Chain A
Amino acid sequence: MKMFASFTMLTIMILIYPIVMTLSSNYNIFNFPKHVKTTIKSAFLFSLIPTFMFIDKGYEAIITTWHWTIFQTLDISISLKMDFFSMMFVPVALFVTWSIMEFSMWYMHSDPNVDRFFKYLLLFLITMIILVTANNLFQLFIGWEGVGIMSFLLIGWWYGRPDANTAALQAILYNRIGDIGFVLSMAWFLTNSNSWELQQLFITDHNNLIPLLGLTLAATGKSAQFGLHPWLPSAMEGPTPVSTLLHSSTMVVAGIFLLIRFYPMLENNQTILTTIMCLGAITTLFTAICALTQNDIKKIIAFSTSSQLGLMMVTIGINQPHLAFLHICTHAFFKAMLFMCSGSIIHNLNDEQDIRKMGGLFKTLPFTSSALTIGSLALTGTPFLTGFYSKDLIIESANTSYTNAWALLITLIATSLTATYSTRIIFFALMGQPRFSPLSPINENNPLLNNAIKRLLIGSIFAGFIITNNMDPMNIQQMTMPWYLKLAALMVTVSGFMIAMELNNLTYFLKIKSTSQQMKFSNLLGYFPSTIHRLIPNTNLMTSHKSASKLMDLIWLEKSTPKLLALLQLMMSTLTSNQSGLIKVYFMTFLLSMLISLPFLI
């Protein structure tokens, strides 16, 4: 028992140590990136021990350490909840981060501030672990904001680039809107349950929609659901390791993780479950449609992430939080690997990100292309690779549950589109003849790159099998269904593959014609950024401009009092005066009356 708590605290302390020591002056690490990588590797190995204790004995714990403050009846302390979710997520996150650190040592080696980069990544990892292991909402919020801030700093890493600054600001703003929901839920829980501890919240039977809607809004912001999604593709302005760590495996799943943490409250409220499911269904279809016509390889993978996040929301909506969590863990492996392969391709083609300028990389980058292919197969749910164990189970559960048929249909269509855009990446980037400059020095002989991708490759193939077989059954899985339901996911995926290959082969014989409406819709991301990013600021600025100049200056200060009074006075005086201003007539009148009265006076 003491081992459990000790190794948990050791894992976290190991990660904090490099950050804290950078504040002191005699911390002279020659190769700070390698030091950080070794730190994370050892943290991963140490975190496996509590996880194995959990798998073996079902050992869970709540570790409450430092008591921070008391506000009358509210008690806030640092408490770590080591239960199924945090125990399984922490090793997965550390393993993926270890590979990403190794990859960044190769990718960012020519960057002058590479030490600061690794420090930011490590700080992000620490805040993510704080979020995942939090037992009260306050600590969760600290982690929540922390990952948001680190996302801002890392997306805007190349701050000289205005696109990167815009993208970083976009991430902050959209996440802020989600934070409104989070704070609303916190306030509601504080006033209605007088506590922020998860245990105390789940005991009371609330059955109120307000906090759950707040949490859904928070998840919408952080996990890029429809309505608050544009920040995720824009976040690809950051370096590829940032996209790999934050925007595929760890940060964007924080919103889903929050909803999974609150599943005891969600499962009693059918309204919120339906809301979550429909939101997830819209997200997964919309982002899959947007991914079909993008030309930047990182943006396609970003939309793929968004689509999978929508699928996780759908899973929560059919009341299967453990399946959603399994999908989080398996998705981390193959999505991180896809991003790393795209980073390898980009760097080798001299920072070329447009897939229309790639091609023929099967022969020149054999290892990267194999990894990309296997990652795409895992993503689409090929039987017995990693993605199959989570994705196929999700589709099966959705098929056999008493649920919204429209959302189910949408999810199936999005599953086939997943296969379609994956085939598109493989076709344009790897197959055919090269469309890039022949003088690019292409090589994959750096062990940092190869070992990192190899580790995630083994994870993409085996992790689903290993994790599923080590999980105790949390939910009664519906195993009996007709054959067409059982094979539904596989059939739509295969049909997506075939349609995509057919269309891709047709591109060899195309004539140029003007783009169709559907192409414009998909390429411009459904016109969502173009409208929302212009409409809202435009409305705000026009309102403030009009209110300042017209309302305040012109009407209130000029027209309403001074000029109005002057006008009224003028009007009244002309109406009521008998004066006609005719001086000669006045003089004549005067003279006449004088002449008439003069004889009487004399």
Chain B
Amino acid sequence: MGAHLVRRYLGDASVEPDPLRMPTFPPEYGFPERKERAMVATPQEMNDAQLPLRQRDYCAHYLIRLLKCRRDSFPNFLACKQERHDWDYCEHLDYVMRMKEFERERRLLQRKKRREERAARAARGQGPGEVAPEVAL
């Protein structure tokens, strides 16, 4: 939970992504065939189901299925376990995707920092493996 916070405050803050300003790199960088993620539930379906705004995400179609199952199986309130699991699993996969995006952002920032340092060393005339003139004997 707190690993990203600890790394941000105690470690190097320049290579940690800021969750409020994500993503910094273009999404197709490194993934040439990446398509934009599409929602399965249409706006009309979500309006008909009267979903609140927070629940209109990429897993809304499972939620609509769950609500319909619950309405159909009243008064058996223990009925819709499979639909509930489907929705929860979709949200879980969504969470995993968000974590992967975060980690991708972090590694890209680290790579960017390494490249900038290498460019700065080359600009100073220092080849790979050599030390700066003021350090050499």
Query: A52, A402, A473: which contacts B19 (Cβ < 8 A)?
Result: A402
Contact B88–A479 (Cβ < 8 Å): yes
Residues of B within 8 A of A58 (CB): 50, 71
Query: B50, B54, B75, B78: which contacts A476 (Cβ < 8 A)?
Result: B54
| Interface presence of B5 (CB below 8 A) | yes
- Of the stretches B32-40, B91-99, B123-131, the one at the interface is B91-99
Contact with B along A381-406 (1 / 0, CB 8 A): 00000000000000000011010010
Contact A472–B1 (Cβ < 8 Å): no
Contact A472–B88 (Cβ < 8 Å): no
Query: A52, A476, A481, A482: which contacts B55 (Cβ < 8 A)?
Result: A476
| Interface presence of B67 (CB below 8 A) | yes
Contact B77–A470 (Cβ < 8 Å): yes
In the complex, A472 Cα to B55 Cα: how many Å?
Answer: 12
Contact A469–B95 (Cβ < 8 Å): no
| Interface presence of B8 (CB below 8 A) | no
Query: B1, B5, B77: which contacts A400 (Cβ < 8 A)?
Result: B1
Contact B1–A485 (Cβ < 8 Å): yes
The A22-63 residues at the B interface (CB cut-off 8 A) are: 52, 55-58
Residues of A within 8 A of B87 (CB): 473
Contact A480–B92 (Cβ < 8 Å): yes
Give B84's nearest chain A residue, CB to CB.
Answer: A473
| Interface presence of A207 (CB below 8 A) | no
The B50-77 residues at the A interface (CB cut-off 8 A) are: 50, 52, 54-55, 57, 63, 66-67, 70-71, 74-75, 77
Query: A56, A399, A472, A478: which contacts B95 (Cβ < 8 A)?
Result: A478
**B93 CB → nearest A CB, Å:** 9
Contact with B along A305-343 (1 / 0, CB 8 A): 000000000000000000000000000000000000000
Contact B54–A475 (Cβ < 8 Å): yes
Contact A56–B75 (Cβ < 8 Å): yes
| Interface presence of A596 (CB below 8 A) | no
In the complex, A400 Cα to B99 Cα: how many Å?
Answer: 13
Residues of A within 8 A of B57 (CB): 476
In the complex, A484 Cα to B63 Cα: how many Å?
Answer: 28
Contact A480–B96 (Cβ < 8 Å): yes
| Interface presence of A474 (CB below 8 A) | yes
Residues of A within 8 A of B88 (CB): 479
**A91 CB → nearest B CB, Å:** 15
Give B55's nearest chain A residue, CB to CB.
Answer: A476
Give B87's nearest chain A residue, CB to CB.
Answer: A473
In the complex, A473 Cα to B54 Cα: how many Å?
Answer: 11
Contact with B along A237-259 (1 / 0, CB 8 A): 00000000000000000000000
Contact with B along A58-71 (1 / 0, CB 8 A): 10000000000000
Residues of B within 8 A of A466 (CB): 77
Contact A474–B1 (Cβ < 8 Å): no
Query: B5, B50, B55, B67: which contacts A405 (Cβ < 8 A)?
Result: B5
Determine which residue in B50, B57, B70 has the highest number of CB atoms from chain A within 10 A of its CB, and name it: B70
Contact A472–B67 (Cβ < 8 Å): yes
**A84 CB → nearest B CB, Å:** 11
Contact A476–B91 (Cβ < 8 Å): yes
Residues of A within 8 A of B77 (CB): 466, 469-470
Give B91's nearest chain A residue, CB to CB.
Answer: A476
Contact A473–B63 (Cβ < 8 Å): yes
Residues of A within 8 A of B52 (CB): 474
**A70 CB → nearest B CB, Å:** 32
Give me the interface of B with A, judged by CB distance under 8 Å.
1-2, 5, 19, 50, 52, 54-55, 57, 63, 66-67, 70-71, 74-75, 77-78, 87-88, 91-92, 95-96
Give me the interface of A with B, judged by CB distance under 8 Å.
52, 55-58, 399-400, 402, 405, 466, 469-470, 472-482, 484-485
- Extra contacts, 9 of them, besides A402-B19, A476-B54 (Cβ < 8 A), are A56-B75, A58-B71, A400-B1, A405-B2, A466-B77, A477-B91, A479-B88, A482-B1, A485-B1
* 10 A-B pairs with C-beta separation under 8 A: A58-B71, A405-B5, A466-B77, A469-B77, A470-B77, A473-B87, A477-B91, A480-B95, A480-B96, A485-B1
